[in-house]
Every structure is written in C-alpha cells, then in structure tokens.
C-alpha cells in the first residue's frame, strides 16, 4: 500500500520561492571591489532570479543547457544560483584561480554557450576565449555604463539583460533528478572532472546543513560566505540560507584579514565557514588589532571548516581568543560536499577541556543522508568502530554516481561505494580521522607516516603560520618526510628546535629528515597546498642523504 502524502519535486526554484514568501525582507549583503556594500533581500533575489531565467530564454538557451559563470561571491552570482537552475538550465561555475588553459578545458568540457563574467575577470575570459572554438555569448555582471573595453564583440551588460526581461510568473516544472549545477574537481593531478549535481541532491544537502548536528544554520544567523561560489556551490550555504532565512553576507573578491574582520564586526556575523588557511589570516588580524573588549563585542558564535584538516592549534586559538566553537567537517566536490561534521554528543558532556580539543580536531561523524566505511583489499567494507586504516568510502543521496559525460554509476564500485581517495580511520565513537590523501601518503621503509598528523603538530608551534609535509625520494628508505614551513612575520625557529617540538608528539622515525622555511606555500584554487608541485620542486632535496 502506498502512503497518501503529497509528493512535490525537491527543486531549487522551490527554495527561493519559500524564501520569498517567508523571509522576504531578510538581508543579503554583497561587497563590491571598492569596498562598497550593496544591500538586497531574499525577496529581491527571488524576483531578479526569475528575470535571469526569462533572459536566458531570450538568449536562446534550451532546458539542460550549461550556463557558465566566472565570478566571485557577489549578488549577481547568487541570482544566477537560483535563476539558472530554476529556469531548467545547469549552472557551470568556473574557477578563476585555475590556469587559463585549465579554465579553457573545463569550459569546453562543460559545453556552455553563454558565459556570465565579473567585470574584473573579463581579461581572464578574453584570454580563455581567444582560442575557444564554439560561439559564446558573454554577459558582464554590471551596468552598461561600467562595461569594460574589450576585444570581445557584442558584450552584453547584465543589468540591460535583466531590465529587458519579463520575470517568469512561475518556475517551469522540473524533474527533481535533473541536473542543476556543474562543478569541476580541483584537478591537482590530471584534468579536472565534472560533478553534476541534481535539484534533489542540492535541496536534500541544504536541508541537512540546517540540522543541529551540521551547521545548525537558522533564521537567527548572519552568515559570512567565504568558500568561493565556484567551489562545490559554496558548500551549499547559498541554498541553505534561503531555506532557513539566514542573512547572507558575500565578501566579493577581498579575502584579506582587514576586510573580513570588518564584515564580521559590522554585519554582526554569527556563523562563517571556510578552509583553515583563511581562518589563520582572520585570527592574525583580529589578534593584532583588537582589544579584549572589541573581541568580546563580536557576535561570532561558530565557524565551520573543511577542505583540509583543521589543526588542533586552530581549534584552541578560536576557543581561547574568541570563545568560538569550531566545527570541522569532511567532504569533497563529489559529495556536495558535507558528509560528516565534528559536533559532540551527550556522552561527551563531561570531557575535560583538553579531551574536548582532541575531539574537535577530528574530521567529524557521519550525518544522515550518507554512509561511510573503510575499504579493505579483499573488497570488504568496515563501518564505524572497525578502527582499521584504509580508503574512506562513501555513498548517499548527495554523492556523485558518475562524472560529467560518463554513465550513471561509473564512479562507483560493485557495492555502490565512491572511493574518496582519502586514507582514514573511523574510531569506535564514529569519528573520522583522515590520515592522508591517498596520493600524498608517505611510505618510508614500508611503513606509513601520516603527513596530516605531523602538520598539525608543526602548526601548533607559535612561530609557524602554515606547514606542509611531503614525501621525497630517499636512497635507503624509498621516501622520507620533508617539512616545509611558512613562518609568522618576524618569527623564527631553528631546525633543531622544530624537531625537538615534533619529537614530543610523534614517533622518532616519523621525524622529518629536514626542515625548510619558505616565503609562501603554493595553493590550489580551493585553498589546498599543492603537494604535487612541492614534491616536484624538492624531489632532489635528500638525494645526498645516506
Ligand atoms: P575538494 O574536492 O576540493 O573539496 O577536496 C576534497 C578533499 O579535501 C578531501 O578528499 C580531503 O582530502 C580534503 N579534506 C576535506 N575535509 C577534510 C578534513 N576535515 N580533514 C582532512 N582533509 C579534508
């Protein structure tokens, strides 16, 4: 017997419709290039996104067409987040931090014929399109008067396009399983691969973000959106905040400590999210420029981190400096991204402050909607509690089944599991501990050394701003760890001092063979240290060792 309840499609249009009906006047704030703030509301975003959908129809777009964006976290990009999928098209977000050649590959692979671009990114688009075969309509996200000069013919001004469009009266009917967004993996090795999110996966993932053991996003929040809107849909928060009626603050392209601190203070931010590196920058700024009273006046309550391991030292700094809760999460482009979040349970109430910090430095426990396991060589999968180390596998409602252009299910094994490429352990309490990215694993004399654990200890040293451990070829041990350090301004630490610091926390044979200080570590477009590049650069570093 079937249930007798209504069954409505889980579509992105229905999310913004809800925000328009229930959170119409709630603010959405966007920072422009000169630092000016533009203020809109969820109601206005809803109206303008229906104009976007109508405008796309007038440009000749057909349902299912990919529509590309090359833009920062700004209001027009948010309007595309709703208008493009709401109208039945697929928003293909391009990462401007990739090399021109990679962007060209990703754009051609996605097959878009319409590109929306921020004015300051137009020179990049020109370079990309200079050797792009297919025709492209380029819409610049500005007023006609602000259109930059360009060798590209027939540039369209976004505001002209919207003004000429009659907003859709209602969103078209859309199958909830149809494609809504296309986002490419960072591609640190090989070409980036496209992950094709559906309306259903996007809506379910956003609902999960609002739950108490995830981000607990709500109408009481003012959320500052730091993950770029070209990286995994900004972790789903543009959709989740409309769903729950949070005020949303978009920082534009200025991600320096001073600009972000000003937004946190002036927009009374309660919740924010981003990769750990960005938080070091913000905390350095706050620590250096504010008094204890000014820090106490901040409304920041919790921060959500992912994309890389959150060092214990960062959790501690947030607690001690600002009294803020850090929530580490695990996920990836292929998982929408949030699968696991590190929040405590009732059984952790009486933990000591130190044990609490240890717990917070784990990657989190699995939320409803996904299932995780550790794979073994014989093909078996162990769920939480197994305590064995191996490939972290995942399956669920918002996990990719195949990459763009490939068959459904082609990215999965026979059990329907997606191999994340991370090496992990799931402890008896259900918390994931990532020990390495499979391709970054260091194997020395046949034994594994966890680069993440070593890096976490290294950044706990007060002189260290950022640390990366890489495996470099060694004549006797095949590979040995090399520690690369980026220090705080004016700080110093000797090799012997750093090795003594590490020796207090890790096995002796894990100690790096050398410590090298560098001015900067190279990062990918999504803020990860580019270890492949470092491995290449330092490949001969230990050649003379014996
Ligand atoms: P991306 O697809 O660019 O979002 O990268 C996903 C990868 O980031 C994962 O496969 C992990 O290697 C890494 N990652 C994400 N969250 C964590 C975490 N909490 N701890 C360690 N690594 C993480």
- What atom in ligand 1 is closest to the CA of residue 186? 3
Question: Whose alpha carbon is nearest atom 21 of ligand 1?
Answer: 309
User: Which residues are known catalytic residues?
Assistant: 185, 334, 443, 448
Q: Tell me the CATH number for domain 255-437.
A: 3.40.50.12780
Tokens of 475: 């004549």
Q: How far is the CA of 340 from the centre of ligand 1 (A)?
A: 11
Which pLDDT does position 436 carry in this prediction?
85
Which pLDDT does position 444 carry in this prediction?
81
What are the angstrom distances between the C-alpha of 529 and each of 53, 260, 275, 330, 441? 38, 22, 11, 17, 14
> Which residues, in sequence order, are CB contacts of 134 under 8 Å at separation 6+?
108, 111, 113
Which pLDDT does position 188 carry in this prediction?
56
Q: How far is the CA of 417 from the centre of ligand 1 (A)?
A: 17
The per-residue DSSP string of 153-197 comes to SS-EEHHHHHHHS---SSPPP--TTSEEEEEE---SSSS--EEEE
What is the distance between the alpha carbons of residues 206 and 211, in angstroms, rounded to a whole number?
Answer: 9
- What atom in ligand 1 is closest to the CA of residue 305? 19
Which pLDDT does position 546 carry in this prediction?
45
DSSP code for 408: T
Domains of the chain by residue range: 12-198, 255-437, 442-545
Do 103 and 53 meet the contact criterion of CB atoms below 8 Å apart? no
Do 49 and 79 meet the contact criterion of CB atoms below 8 Å apart? yes
Q: At what angle do helices 451-459 and 312-322 cross, to 10 degrees?
A: 30
Fold agreement (12-198, 255-437): yes
Pocket of ligand 1 (CB under 6 A): 185-186, 232, 306-309, 328, 330-333, 337, 363, 420-422, 434, 437, 526
Tokens of 171: 């969103």
Tokens of 6: 């209504």
List phi, psi (to 5°) of 500: -65, -40
Bridge partners for 92 per DSSP: 68, 182
Architecture of domain 12-198: 3-Layer(aba) Sandwich (3.40)
Do 136 and 26 meet the contact criterion of CB atoms below 8 Å apart? no
Architecture of domain 442-545: 2-Layer Sandwich (3.30)
Bridge partners for 327 per DSSP: 304
**Max Cα–Cα distance, the chain, nearest Å:** 74
The pLDDT profile of the chain, 546 residues, written as one tens digit per residue, is 999 999 999 999 999 999 999 999 999 999 987 789 999 999 999 999 999 999 999 999 999 999 999 999 999 999 999 999 999 999 999 999 888 988 999 999 999 999 999 999 999 999 999 998 889 999 999 999 999 999 998 999 999 999 999 999 999 999 999 999 999 987 655 678 999 999 999 999 999 999 999 999 999 999 999 999 999 999 999 999 999 999 999 999 999 999 999 999 999 999 999 988 889 889 999 999 999 999 999 999 999 999 888 989 999 999 999 999 999 999 999 999 999 999 999 999 999 999 999 999 999 999 999 999 999 988 899 998 877 899 999 999 999 999 999 999 999 999 999 999 999 999 999 999 998 888 888 888 777 788 888 999 999 999 999 999 999 988 778 889 999 999 998 999 999 999 999 999 888 889 999 999 999 999 877 678 889 899 999 999 987 554
Which pLDDT does position 385 carry in this prediction?
80
- What atom in ligand 1 is closest to the CA of residue 437? 12
What is the distance between the alpha carbons of residues 21 and 82, in angstroms, rounded to a whole number?
Answer: 15
Q: How far is the CA of 389 from the centre of ligand 1 (A)?
A: 17
Q: How far is the CA of 208 from the centre of ligand 1 (A)?
A: 19
> Which residues, in sequence order, are CB contacts of 370 under 8 Å at separation 6+?
335, 339, 340, 394, 395, 396, 397, 398, 399
Predicted model pTM: 0.91
What is the distance between the alpha carbons of residues 99 and 396, in angstroms, rounded to a whole number?
Answer: 33
Which pLDDT does position 127 carry in this prediction?
97
**Strand pairing class (431-437; 418-426):** antiparallel
């Amino acid at each position: 017997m079937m249930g007798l309840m209504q069954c409505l499609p889980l579509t992105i249009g229905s999310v913004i419709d809800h925000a328009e009906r229930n959170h119409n006047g709630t603010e959405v704030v966007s920072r422009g290039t000169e630092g000016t703030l533009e203020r809109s509301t969820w109601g206005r975003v809803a109206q303008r996104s229906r104009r976007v959908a109508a405008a796309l129809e007038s440009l000749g777009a057909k349902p299912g067409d990919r529509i590309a964006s090359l833009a920062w976290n700004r209001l027009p990009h948010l309007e595309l987040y709703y208008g493009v999928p709401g109208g039945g098209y697929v928003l293909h977000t391009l990462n401007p931090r990739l090399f021109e050649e990679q962007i060209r590959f990703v754009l051609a692979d996605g097959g878009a014929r319409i590109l929306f671009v921020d004015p300051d990114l137009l020179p990049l688009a020109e370079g990309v399109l200079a050797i792009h075969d297919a025709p492209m309509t380029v819409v610049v996200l500005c007023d006609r008067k602000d259109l930059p000069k360009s060798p590209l013919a027939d540039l369209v001004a976004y505001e002209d396009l919207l003004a000429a469009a009659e907003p859709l009266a209602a969103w078209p009917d859309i199958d909830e399983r149809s494609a809504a967004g296309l986002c490419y993996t960072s591609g640190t090795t090989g070409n980036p691969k496209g992950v094709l999110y559906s309306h259903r996966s996007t809506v379910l993932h956003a609902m999960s973000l609002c739950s108490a053991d995830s981000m607990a996003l709500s109408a009481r929040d003012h959320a500052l959106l730091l993950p770029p809107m070209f990286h995994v849909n900004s972790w789903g928060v543009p959709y989740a905040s409309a769903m729950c009626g949070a005020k949303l603050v978009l920082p534009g392209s200025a991600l320096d400590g001073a600009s972000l601190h000003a937004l946190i203070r002036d927009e009374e931010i309660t919740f924010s999210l981003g990769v750990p590196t960005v938080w070091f920058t913000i905390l350095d700024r706050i620590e250096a420029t504010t008094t204890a009273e000014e820090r106490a006046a901040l409304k920041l309550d919790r921060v959500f981190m992912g994309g890389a391991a959150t060092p214990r030292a960062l959790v501690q700094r947030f607690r001690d400096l600002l009294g803020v809760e850090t929530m580490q999460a695990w996920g990836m482009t292929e998982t929408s991204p949030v699968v696991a979040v590190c929040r405590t349970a009732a059984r952790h109430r009486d933990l000591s402050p130190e044990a609490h910090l240890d717990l917070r430095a784990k990657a989190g426990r699995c939320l409803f909607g996904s299932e995780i396991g550790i794979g073994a060589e014989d093909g078996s999968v162990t769920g939480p509690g197994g305590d064995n180390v191996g490939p972290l596998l995942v399956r669920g409602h918002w996990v990719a089944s195949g990459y763009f252009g490939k068959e459904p299910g082609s990215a999965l094994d026979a059990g329907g599991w997606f191999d994340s490429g991370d090496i992990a352990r799931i402890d008896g309490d259900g918390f994931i501990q990532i020990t390495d990215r499979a391709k970054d694993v260091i194997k020395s004399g046949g034994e594994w050394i966890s680069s993440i654990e070593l890096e976490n200890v290294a950044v706990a040293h007060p002189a260290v701003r950022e640390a990366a451990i890489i495996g470099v070829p060694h004549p006797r041990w095949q590979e040995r760890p090399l520690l690369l350090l980026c220090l705080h301004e004016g700080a110093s630490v000797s090799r012997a001092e750093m090795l003594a610091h590490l020796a207090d926390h890790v096995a002796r044979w894990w100690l790096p063979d050398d410590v090298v200080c560098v001015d900067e570590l190279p990062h990918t477009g999504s803020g990860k240290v580019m270890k492949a590049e470092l491995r290449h650069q330092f490949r001969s570093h230990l050649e003379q060792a014996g």
